[in-house]
Amino acid sequence: MFSFALGIWILNGVIWISRQKRPSKQRIAFDYSYSLTLTDIFPSLYLTDQDSTLELRPRFKNASNRAFMYKFERLEFRIEDRFARGEPKGAILAANTSLTVIPGFGFNRAAWDSFKDRTGGSVEFTIVYGHPEYGFSRRATKTVHLDLFTTKTDQVQAVNINWTIQKEDDEEIS
The neighbouring-strand residues paired with 142 are 125, 168
Counted domains in the chain: 1
* Per-residue pLDDT, 21: 63
Residue 16 domain-assigned?
no
Write b or e for each residue in 77-102: b if 16 or more Cβ atoms lie within 10 A of its Cβ, otherwise e: bbbeebebeeebebeebeeeeebebe
pLDDT for residue 39: 95
The answer to whether residues 126 and 79 touch, using CB atoms and an 8 Å cutoff, is no
Q: Is the pLDDT of residue 9 over 70?
A: yes
Please tell me whether residue 167 adopts helix, strand or coil conformation.
Answer: strand
Residue 4 placed within a domain: no
Other C-beta atoms within 10 Å of 166: how many?
12
State yes or no: pLDDT of 25 exceeds 70: no
Q: State the pLDDT at residue 135.
A: 86
Taking the alpha carbons of 100, 106, 108, 110 in that order, is the dihedral positive or negative?
negative
Residue 1 has pLDDT above 70, yes or no: no
User: Does the residue 15 lie in any domain?
Assistant: no
E strands present in the chain: 36-45, 54-62, 68-79, 82-86, 91-93, 98-100, 118-130, 138-152, 157-172
pLDDT tens track for 27-60 = 666 677 778 899 999 999 999 989 989 999 999 9
Residue range 114-166, pLDDT digits in tens: 999 999 999 999 999 988 888 888 999 999 999 999 999 888 899 999 999 99
Amino acid at 125: F
Residue 12 has pLDDT above 90, yes or no: no
Average pLDDT over residues 3-12: 83
Residue 143 pLDDT = 97
Instruction: Answer yes or no: is pLDDT of 18 > 80.
Output: no
- Which CATH number characterizes residue 48's domain? 2.60.40
User: Domain range holding 43?
Assistant: 24-172
pLDDT over threshold 70, residue 26: no
Q: Is residue 108 part of a domain?
A: yes
Centroid of chain to Cα 139: 10
Question: Pairing state of beta strands 91-93 and 98-100?
Answer: unpaired
For the chain, report the end-to-end CA distance as a whole number of angstroms.
44
- Give the CA distances from residue 107 to residues 29, 50, 150, in Å, rounded to whole numbers and listed in that order: 36, 9, 14
Is 1 inside any structural domain?
A: no
Within-domain flag for 75: yes
Domain contains 35: yes
> What pLDDT, on a 0 to 100 scale, did the predictor assign at position 112?
93
139: in domain: yes
